Amino acid sequence: MPLGKNALKLEENGMQGKTIGFIGLGNMGAPMAANLVRAGYIVRGFDTAATTAEGVAPGTSAAAVSTDADVVITMLPDGAILRRVAEEVIPAMKPGALLIDCSTVDVESARAVSDKAEAAGLLFVDAPVSGGIGGASAGTLTFMAGGTETGFAKARPLFEVMGQKAVHCGEAGAGQAAKICNNMILGATMIATCEAFALADKLGLDRQKMFDVVSTSSGSSWSMNTYCPAPGVGPKSPADNGYKPGFAAELMLKDLGLSQQAAEAVDADTPMGALAMALYRHFVEEEGGRGKDFSAMLPRFEARSRKA
């Protein structure tokens, strides 16, 4: 839940009046930036799509909003774009400033940007998030952070404004590693949950009864208990809104791709992760899943037979 009266007081941490450059004001970045403004930070933002957020002063370029900023936060689509943006903003940032990347990217890109930032006399933290658009708006995200203790300590007050939990996972790249592993589990468990509901339907088992049993038994999971893919069952989820994405299927496909890229790099055997990626790829690219929530795998399984 939001911290409310227990929220961090900026003046207690010497953060009042600090300037933040925020690059990437999309569905996630915009509400995160707006929450920082509401907490009393001065936020200058830039997005190539010219989007902005409430209270954020628009800048003309990534470098422009990074110049003289105490902290720069990026929320970008992939590692290649992160590397390009880093080439632009790192030279513009003042020594001792903090660069926080909240994108979900490959581990090697996070480590490469960390090395460049360190060489320029900057602090760097890779801090991908969990919680989706709803968590970004409500300020209840979880941050998985990699970097030095000093960098994490400086970033923590910002995490406490934008989220409800931040875990320092280790050195640079560790935040991305944690996010990749987490989402590989999420992708596989959502598929299993959707398969189980489709099977229950064909066995004549009522969906509510299925939820009542599984959500309190050994099959319980976040995919079942919190983000149930069956409409009208469990807490409200994208399934109750026509599978309008809270976390789009194509984003899950991206994260599963990152997990398999990482697995290949370190020679890890991840057959379930690989199969989940293949299923989401087919769903997104061949079965109309693009633009739907990743839990829309349920109607996909409902429509298929065993031999389909």
Residue with tokens 């007081």: 9
Task: Residue 102: name the closest of 85, 87, 88 by CA.
Answer: 85
Annotated catalytic residue within 5, 94, 165, 179: 179
Q: What is the Cα–Cα distance from 137 to 112, expressed in whole angstroms? A: 30
Judged by DSSP in three states, 37 sits in helix
CA 269 distance to own-chain centroid: 24
Any idea of the CA torsion for 60, 83, 27, 221, to the nearest 10 degrees? -160
Q: What is the Cα–Cα distance from 65 to 247, expressed in whole angstroms? A: 28
Tokens of 4: 């409310």
- Residue 66 is classified by DSSP as H
- Residue 56 is classified by DSSP as P
Task: Residue 89: name the closest of 54, 45, 27 by CA.
Answer: 45
Q: What is the Cα–Cα distance from 75 to 117, expressed in whole angstroms? A: 17
Task: Residue 36: name the closest of 161, 214, 167 by CA.
Answer: 161
Residue 6: CB atoms within 10 A of its CB come to 9
Judged by DSSP in three states, 278 sits in helix
Q: Is 179 a catalytic residue?
A: yes
Q: Buried b vs exposed e over 54-69: b needs ≥16 C-beta within 10 Å?
A: eebeebeebbbbbbeb
Q: What is the Cα–Cα distance from 181 to 185, expressed in whole angstroms? A: 6
Catalytic site residues? 179
